[in-house]
Structure 1
Amino acid sequence: MDIVIAGAGIGGLTAALTLHARGMGVTVVESARELAPLGVGINLLPHAVRELHELGLGEALQNAAATPAVIDFYTSEGALLFREPRGIEGGYGYPQCSVHRGRLQILLLDAVTDRLGPDAVRTGAGVVDFAESSTGVRVQTRAGEFGADVFVGADGVQSMVRRTLHPGPDPLMWSGVRMFRGASHMPAFLDGRTMAIVKGPDGVELVTYPIGGGLVNWVLQVGESEPGPLPGDANWNAPTDPAAVAAHMSGWQLDWLDPADLVARSDAVFEYPMVDREPLSHWGTRRVTLLGDAAHPMYPVGANGGSQAILDARALADELAAGHGVAGYEARRVPETAAVVRANREMHAGSPDELARVTAEYRRNTFADRSSE
């Protein structure tokens, strides 16, 4: 069986490795002319780390990543509300890995090149069109035509393959939150194996964690509007003013971190809308399907985006190798990922949200006596 995958991101490259391991021929077509280690941090949950271990990449991943043992929840006044164990310390068989997205992508790319050959990933080959027949799929790209038994769209949240398969209304749905992101050159805070979420006033929230290589990743979430379809003029991966971002954390009192210094130590600060899409009832056809963000973009709540793409890759390889085809893959993954999309929405909305309750109770008890000042 020959597979063509659109997109050389984490999901597409992992799929190439898993399909190759089952004896299938794989070509990855990528629109970018050069793959460089861009981006910021990503968390991989233990079930996704397990899959990379089974591909023989576990040691390389852990050498490139931090492996958090706990996640601490703070108020912006510095009070530790509670902590949760992660990875091995949380009782899982594999660690959680926090890593620079670009570093992980290059690790996967090197493995694909080593195992599948130097021509397995074709850059400058953005998909223009595709046509399915009873015998296969012809994929037209800017670098020529490719034939396949199965075509997989792993081409991200703005997927061309998804738009072609589902031409009706399919808007990005905005949570109303603007995310500011960076990776800072600095020593890891606390014991070096701690993630932290800091709840500030007015719903402002900082998520930060070390990602190895002398970097600390951070995401600042700032509410701007009610949820709804993403406006057409929304900034996406746009550079923004670090000083303006740091101002959202003015007055925070954390004895283990200076938020303004955290922002200032980033090479660049980017903004993104926090978005997902309504889950689809199916992803593709008999020979064409979707994977990762192309299939199920989700809020970055619970560190599930990249992890779910890796699980997609494993399920696709399992079902194709078993002879169940695209239908078997979608029967397995469509309901599972739709449940994660909806669960992430609920966690973001705070129902139930034990952290929000504890934070509110802390502030109510701490500042009650100051109301008459």
Structure 2
Amino acid sequence: MTVLVAGAGIGGLTAALSLHAAGIDAAVVESAREIRPLGVGINLLPHAVRELTELGLGGELAAIGVATAENVYADRYGRRIFAEPRGVAQGYRWPQYSVHRGELQLLLLAAVRERLGSGAVRTGARVADFAQDVPETPVRGAGPGPVRVRVLDRATGTVEEITAEALIGADGLHSAVRARLCPDGGPLLWSGIRMWRGTTVAGPFLTGRSMVIVRDGDAELVAYPIGRGRINWVCQLRVSEPGPLVGDAAWNRAGRVADVLPRFADWRLGWLDVPGLLNGCEEILECPMVDREPLPSWGQGRVTLLGDAAHPTYPVGANGASQAVVDARVLARELAAADAAPRGLARYEAARREPTAAVVRANRAMSRQGGRTPGDLARVTDAYRHATGGGVRELNTRPSLSPTRP
């Protein structure tokens, strides 16, 4: 079996590594002509760290990430409202890591090229279209032939047809594979919140491994260390009522500190200089907080979706990249166990579609939470873990997702 993965992001690269570990040939095509360490910080929750550790990347993760010790809610004067331990301190067998998104992507890319070969990831190549023969049966069957994928070389403009046993659309928020599979999949939905993101070289705060969420009315600051003396920060402002997005949803559009600093200029936390954090950032990114309605189906026959292409979600539960990692591991497990690719993809979708839809719904609920007492916040965080399947005992006792070898 040979699987073609569209997209060399965190989900796509983890899928390639997972398929290879399961004994399945994989190749990746990536639209970007060069994969560079772009972006800002993200969090990997223990369920994702477990999967990457089982892929043999635990040491590399520890080297680039910061093991989060606690999550602290505070007001704009730095008064602590609620705090809870995170990762190992919370009882998980695996840490929670805060990492730079681009550095994690390069770590995964290096592992793919080392294990699958230097040509396993082809850059500057975009999926333009695909075709397959889908039998008219009640259950997706093996089908008479492979999927035929038309891949555009962006440098030359030529189109090559590649055949594969399966095509995985891991090509992000604006997925070309999703658009072809689900042309009526609905618009991007805007929460009404705009986000400004950046990383700033600054001294440690609180434990040195703390994540903080500071709220004041329609404004929120999230900040946490991501290693090498850098603090990742996100400023969120509610500027509109929720509704379908009109305009650009690019996550890497340049932003201006002048557009966000006035709302945070008089925040005095004591242990973190918020105006200094914003003013000290060399590059600010601005984007709307968006998601999509969960799909009733991700794929057809030999084609399916993974990660943001399948289930984009608000970045409020530190769970987007983590869910893509779990997608990748379940995908490999089910394909390895199946006697035909379409049956494996059907089982993968059955295993992952509802849990990821629950994450989308839980992240929406988290973004609307109004209670700000310690009891309110304890209930919110507990409810989130329950809704998203992230409980300590649940993860610690769950069997491995690695395929069982005969």
Using structure 1 for the length normalisation, give the TM-score.
0.93
What residue is the counterpart of 2:218 in the other structure? 203
What residue is the counterpart of 1:322 in the other structure? 337
Percent of counterpart pairs with the same letter?
56
Q: Is the 8 A contact 1:153 1:161 kept in 2?
A: yes
Q: Is structure 2 residue 142 aligned with structure 1 residue 142?
A: no
Pair 354,285 (structure 1): closer, same or farther in 2 beyond 3 Å: farther
For residues 214-253 of structure 1, the aligned pairs below 5 Å read: 214-232=229-247, 236-253=251-268
Q: Distance in 2 between matches of 1:244 and 1:232?
A: 18
Amino acid at match of 1:73: Y
Q: Is the 8 A contact 1:347 1:353 kept in 2?
A: no
SS in 1 for 2:192: strand
TM-fit CA distance, 1:146:
1.7
TM-fit CA distance, 1:145:
2.4
Aligned partner (choices 155, 160, 167) of residue 171 of structure 2 = 155
SS in 2 for 1:157: coil
Q: Is structure 2 residue 116 aligned with structure 1 residue 101?
A: no
Amino acid at match of 2:19: L
Root-mean-square deviation over aligned CA pairs? 1.5
What residue is the counterpart of 1:345 in the other structure? 364
Q: Distance in 1 between matches of 2:54 and 2:18?
A: 9
SS in 2 for 1:4: strand
Amino acid at match of 1:167: P
Q: Distance in 2 between matches of 1:181 and 1:126?
A: 28
What residue is the counterpart of 1:312 in the other structure? 327
Q: Distance in 2 between matches of 1:188 and 1:268?
A: 20
TM-fit CA distance, 1:61:
0.5
What residue is the counterpart of 2:284 in the other structure? 269
SS in 2 for 1:78: coil
Q: Is structure 2 residue 184 aligned with structure 1 residue 168?
A: yes
Query: How many residues were matched structurally?
Result: 357
What residue is the counterpart of 1:10 in the other structure? 10
Q: Distance in 1 between matches of 2:60 and 2:37?
A: 16
Structure 2: give runs of 5+ residues left out of the alignment.
134-143, 154-159, 378-406
SS in 2 for 1:179: strand
SS in 2 for 1:281: coil
My pick for the range that moved more, 133-142 or 159-168, is: 133-142
Q: Distance in 2 between matches of 1:229 and 1:198?
A: 27
Q: Distance in 1 between matches of 2:2 and 2:132?
A: 14
Q: Is structure 2 residue 288 aligned with structure 1 residue 278?
A: no
* Cα displacement string for residues 11-50 of structure 1 (whole angstroms, at most 9, x for unaligned residues): 0000000000011110100001110011000100001000
* Cα displacement string for residues 286-322 of structure 1 (whole angstroms, at most 9, x for unaligned residues): 1000000000000112100000000000110111111
TM-fit CA distance, 1:356:
9.9
What residue is the counterpart of 2:56 in the other structure? 56
SS in 2 for 1:266: coil
* Cα displacement string for residues 113-132 of structure 1 (whole angstroms, at most 9, x for unaligned residues): 00000010000111111111
Q: Is the 8 A contact 1:346 1:352 kept in 2?
A: no
TM-fit CA distance, 1:351:
6.6
Structure 1: give runs of 5+ residues left out of the alignment.
359-373
What residue is the counterpart of 2:82 in the other structure? 82
Q: Distance in 2 between matches of 1:345 and 1:278?
A: 11
* Cα displacement string for residues 73-93 of structure 1 (whole angstroms, at most 9, x for unaligned residues): 110022111111000001111
Q: Distance in 1 between matches of 2:239 and 2:261?
A: 16
SS in 2 for 1:142: strand
Amino acid at match of 1:333: R
Pair 274,354 (structure 1): closer, same or farther in 2 beyond 3 Å: farther
Q: Distance in 2 between matches of 1:340 and 1:351?
A: 19
Amino acid at match of 1:344: N
SS in 1 for 2:66: coil
Using structure 2 for the length normalisation, give the TM-score.
0.85
Amino acid at match of 2:332: A
Q: Is the 8 A contact 2:225 2:231 kept in 1?
A: yes
Q: Distance in 2 between matches of 1:180 and 1:160?
A: 26
